[in-house]
A = this chain, B = another copy of it.
Amino acid sequence: MEDFYSKLRKTDQAVLQKLKEWARKIIENAEKERRVYMELPVRSFSNVYFDEEQGLIQLGDRMARREFLNVGHAKKFLQTALVASAIKDLVEEGITTSLRDVYYRIKHTIPGTKENTVDDQRESDKAIEDLETMLGFVREQLHVFSKGGKGKLAGPIEIEEIVPDPDGGRPRVVETDGTNVGMGGWAIPPITEPERVQIKRVDADFVLVVEKDAVWTRFHEDRFWDKYNCIIVTGSGQPDRPTRRLVHRLHYEFKLPVYVMTDADPWGWYIYSVYKQGSINLSYLSPTLATPDARFMGLTISDYHEFKFGKEVKIKLNDQDRKRLKEMRRYPWFKHKEWIREFDLMEKEGFKMELEATSSKYFRYITKEYTPAKLEAKAFLP
């Protein structure tokens, strides 16, 4: 345990050191060049590209300057500095907090004016993202999470979580055996960086990610993880960062193949691509959050025919679906003949379908027949 905790201490020290260096650099530049500025990577769409080789959405190397004495930059400069100071407090106190709390922490009316330091949480969020790229640590290492975490997990895995004592007492280690969790599964915590969550042992052959938590409950209740020796994970819809991070870690630390199951609709398929390639907004995080080797295991419109579902499970595409489908065709990571075929099929046949529709056969069809058949046939999409 000492070893484990020393990891967190080391990261914290490295963050504090980096913060100091970053601040010192601003001061040095100011003294040398008589200009107060920080340099940061450009995060706009123009500096984001799809790295074919790695299969990742990545950030390019263009840098920009944020100058204190530039009317267009001054406020952002101030916001970044205030957030940096809040992060220093968090790390020194050994506590974590949410993005919303950081927003309120730095929100103040600037004395002698009616101007607030921040007026919208997006401003402090952006400042944190800037700091992530400048410091080279992810937000979670800066002790900031988004929400309380909504992912769930079960299966043959042993996890150790470190819970520091915020009053400086002895930190605790909480152990979880993923085969001995209740029907709610193990609640994936708001931060799953290796300094806080250690995966002690995994005895599984693959990771099965299920888009929706209600469907995940079917897999959990049927002990699918036991029968097929796998880890089952859900992000309860669009996955949060700690869930994606954990899936990424299971793949890279334990070489587990990752299979993702979503609804057969453009939104479900996009969720697959978030697990797999990362998102455009957080391109600089792809190397820690994404799992490019992930494979899609269904649901597709081809499945509708192959598994002979009744026409009553069809849901007619609406205009938004069709629009989204068009956008998806443009993403380079969907430019595979298998996906183009599915996009064509969905557009032509004009319907989408949900995972729960498998219950139209019988309640356990998805765990008894559908998923086993897909696994057996290795019927994955790229």
Chain A interface residues toward B at CB < 8 A: 89-90, 93, 95-98, 100-105, 107-109, 116, 145-150, 152, 159, 161, 163, 165-166, 174, 176, 180-191, 196-197, 212-218, 221-223, 234, 236, 310-313, 354, 356-360, 362-364
Nearest-CB residue, chain B, relative to A166: B222
Contacts of A221 in B (CB 8 A): 95-96, 163, 166
Least distance between A14 CB and chain B CB atoms (Å): 21
Contacts of A215 in B (CB 8 A): 98
Partner of A183, one of B104, B109, B161: B161
Q: A104-B359, A223-B166, A360-B107 are in contact. Are A97 and B218 (CB under 8 A)?
A: yes
B166–A176 touching, CB < 8 Å: no
Contacts of A223 in B (CB 8 A): 165-166
Contacts of A218 in B (CB 8 A): 97, 101
Q: A104-B313, A354-B100, A359-B97 are in contact. Are A147 and B183 (CB under 8 A)?
A: no
Partner of A214, one of B108, B147, B196: B147
A214–B98 touching, CB < 8 Å: yes
Could you write out 20 A-B pairs with CB less than 8 Å apart? A89-B363, A93-B363, A100-B214, A105-B359, A107-B312, A107-B360, A147-B236, A148-B214, A148-B236, A149-B184, A163-B182, A165-B223, A166-B221, A174-B181, A176-B182, A182-B187, A183-B189, A184-B187, A184-B189, A187-B187
Least distance between A148 CB and chain B CB atoms (Å): 3
A150–B105 touching, CB < 8 Å: no
B311–A109 touching, CB < 8 Å: yes
Contacts of A109 in B (CB 8 A): 310-312
- A176-B182, A186-B187 known; 4 new pairs, CB 8 Å cut-off, are A102-B359, A109-B311, A161-B183, A182-B197
